[in-house]
Structure 1
């Protein structure tokens, strides 16, 4: 069965859904490059086909968001004709988000077979006592540029293999927390993060390069502050496996930089949006990876392997595509009938309020992606989006990043809870309490200062 999937990824029960996703992603990119509306329409039809094929395979949260989006779009289009172009634009934007998720899914088969990645993670965790936290924090942050939350699973697997009990070994807790904080902070600036796609698509006045620079600076400051927190692992006499490879770590970091440079080059030289550029570059990177790095038995993987996991992120695809339409309609209704003064307050407290709103909803068991998309659509209609795009966009990304560490339904916290075999809320509010207590005020101050300087 596994061999059949590798050879024919578009066959079997999930094959039609994967095929529809591949068509949707290709049409999205081709439509953005050529400007042909027919390609975009074909992509939307393919996206609809994917929704029908995979409806029963998606979790309840994804189905709820998608069903609500479809019902609202149909009702609004019938009752409010001026909403139809808004619905089409939002659906097109949702198609672009789906295409990016499809591109990111091509990395999963490459990650699964990579010995380099396992060796790099082992090297991070095998540093001398007292250096391990900083190693997994910053090293995990660098690897998360490509692998996102996958780095957390790798570190968790190594800790499990070492048979560490998270209740008895503070080192295990701190290493898991350091990795979680490092991977979550990538949402502040990485072009491969969905938050980056959302804010750069919503704020036309945003300079993506300035956004990357500010987000990276803020991430390094927050992670550095985390390294200064009191930790029991500094004095613990616990040895961990040291069979990792510094060369593997260096090669993967160079690959991450090459990926970032290629995406930036397409943005600067070809005039493509970062969303489209990333969607193009990531599958090419994954293809080069599986062709260059041999498998466990020295074999070279077939390009068809990259299509075997295309629908793995189906729940996220439903949520992003549906939330984009819901957010656009909410912004339209607010623009027509709502009090505009609420989102037009010219104050450095505005980005702080956005941050705290997303963070607070995350605490209340909301996936941070949903309020980020909704607020991004709403703030994009505000006059502040022209003069203060950077601080508002950074507030959205920071809310997403910090929200992932407190929302008990976020993928980051759920994965951490599964690795540690502890309740998600305990990890958020006992293990992670000190970091949150410094990260939220520091971020709020940085946002207010950025607003004043714009």
Structure 2
């Protein structure tokens, strides 16, 4: 989440926005874990209120998405026989995704001020040159599970401090090559986290499409292809590594902080799984219940020097940060929630049998069609069409391909991995723009020169992967 941590007093609009998002999260959880199914209406109203209050201060892309959502709503009311059913369903799904996004983001509120995260970042950056790319990629990968986009500023600033002209023997070309290598390592590590992590938005949306598929089966497949793509990135880095790799501090890193971080992430995931199993709910519901308590507990540890007052101090810190970060998440809420809403409403306006008739009539093997869908998602992301919108439009196609004999896991695995890869090259993505700012290079340089070979190669790997698992499943 994008947090606004300034000390100016919270305005009335910000207080209402914060309350609205709290209502979204709590209502989604109530709806998912109880028989009070009407709670989804409270979540939907809360989301609409938030959009209305924060639309004026939302970025241009968010405004375009919200405007498109409004236009589609009017079109749906004018053309669909039961528009309220479609609109309410779209709002319910959007509320769920935003509830998950906000819940997961609470962990960052504690992680931002944690000495453990700072120590992990320093340990990763100080690894020896020959294993630095993999150390940065895996380290960024692990920290991103908790910090999400926040991992890139954290490690990026440390990279900039260590990658000086003096450390590069006054060779500006060597300094630039190291900057590219290390920035791409943390960027790709973050992006590929979204391909498999059960705590990611991508995983939650994919599982909501495949309710009948066990989460562990999907996660297992995604973990394998993620490791393949990480190693592919390391191979490309080795081919383009500068000949001179001696830094002023080559081996001062320690793995101890990373071990503690791994234990923390593992504990959160295990508790999430346990709660989900006890409730008979999806794994993401377990995460939504676990993470707010984990964030609060993490802050209690940070405030432990205050003794018995630590829980109170932690509660105050969390409340203060939430009152700033919730309104500050307006761009993400508009992009994620608005894209989900737009995709569902837009897809509902297409003839129900149009996609099925087309896919059935083209005479192309279903796995090839699925690969084409994955590649289409990557191409559309390059012109600013959100992956959520694409996935919502393709949701019906997954069932059609299943009826043609293709295991749904093949299609969903390809789409999830394509989503992760497209993060590296979409010009409107937050990740690309963060790396551009940290590296002081144009966005187009990152897309065309730094990542084009990786994403194109990754797209081919995804195609081969989908063919392989189509025979295995």
Normalising by structure 1, report the TM-score: 0.90
Q: 1:323 aligns with which of 334, 339, 352?
A: 339
Q: What is the CA-CA distance between 1:452 and the residue it aligns to? A: 3.0
**CA distance in structure 1 between the partners assigned to 2:154 and 2:243 by the alignment:** 23
What's the counterpart of residue 89 of structure 1?
89
What's the counterpart of residue 436 of structure 1?
455
Q: Is the 8 A contact 2:59 2:331 kept in 1?
A: yes
What's the counterpart of residue 225 of structure 1?
232
**CA distance in structure 2 between the partners assigned to 1:327 and 1:369 by the alignment:** 7
Per-residue deviation, residues 285-341 of structure 1 (Å, max 9, x unmatched) = 211111113499999552243323123332221222222232223333334362523
**CA distance in structure 2 between the partners assigned to 1:119 and 1:322 by the alignment:** 37
Matched, 1:388 2:400: no
Worse-superposed segment, 112-121 or 359-368:
359-368
Worse-superposed segment, 435-444 or 16-25:
435-444
**CA distance in structure 2 between the partners assigned to 1:197 and 1:433 by the alignment:** 28
**CA distance in structure 2 between the partners assigned to 1:310 and 1:354 by the alignment:** 34
- Once the two structures are superposed, the pairs formed by residues 384-423 of structure 1 within 5 Å of their partners are 384=402, 388-423=407-442
What's the counterpart of residue 379 of structure 1?
397
Q: Is the 8 A contact 1:267 1:274 kept in 2?
A: yes
Per-residue deviation, residues 73-130 of structure 1 (Å, max 9, x unmatched) = 3432343233432322221111101101211231232122111101101101101121
Q: Is the 8 A contact 1:184 1:402 kept in 2?
A: yes
What is the RMSD computed on CA atoms of the aligned residues?
2.8
Change (3 A) 1:241 1:161: farther
Per-residue deviation, residues 21-66 of structure 1 (Å, max 9, x unmatched) = 0111101111111131331111211112211221212112222222
What's the counterpart of residue 45 of structure 1?
45
Runs of 4+ in 1 over 6 A off after TM superposition: 1-5, 295-299
Change (3 A) 1:132 1:147: same
Give 5+ residue unaligned stretches, structure 1: none
SS at match of 1:228: helix
Per-residue deviation, residues 336-383 of structure 1 (Å, max 9, x unmatched) = 36252334565211221111101111233444343234333x435535
**CA distance in structure 1 between the partners assigned to 2:179 and 2:347 by the alignment:** 45
Per-residue deviation, residues 417-453 of structure 1 (Å, max 9, x unmatched) = 1110001121122122332243221111101222233
What's the counterpart of residue 427 of structure 1?
446
Normalising by structure 2, report the TM-score: 0.87
Worse-superposed segment, 285-294 or 209-218:
285-294
Worse-superposed segment, 114-123 or 60-69:
60-69
Q: Is the 8 A contact 2:378 2:418 kept in 1?
A: yes
What's the counterpart of residue 116 of structure 1?
116
Matched, 1:255 2:274: no
**CA distance in structure 2 between the partners assigned to 1:131 and 1:174 by the alignment:** 12
SS at match of 2:129: coil
Q: Is the 8 A contact 2:29 2:285 kept in 1?
A: yes
Q: 1:303 aligns with which of 293, 310, 315?
A: 315
What's the counterpart of residue 70 of structure 1?
70
**CA distance in structure 1 between the partners assigned to 2:142 and 2:49 by the alignment:** 36
Change (3 A) 1:294 1:128: farther
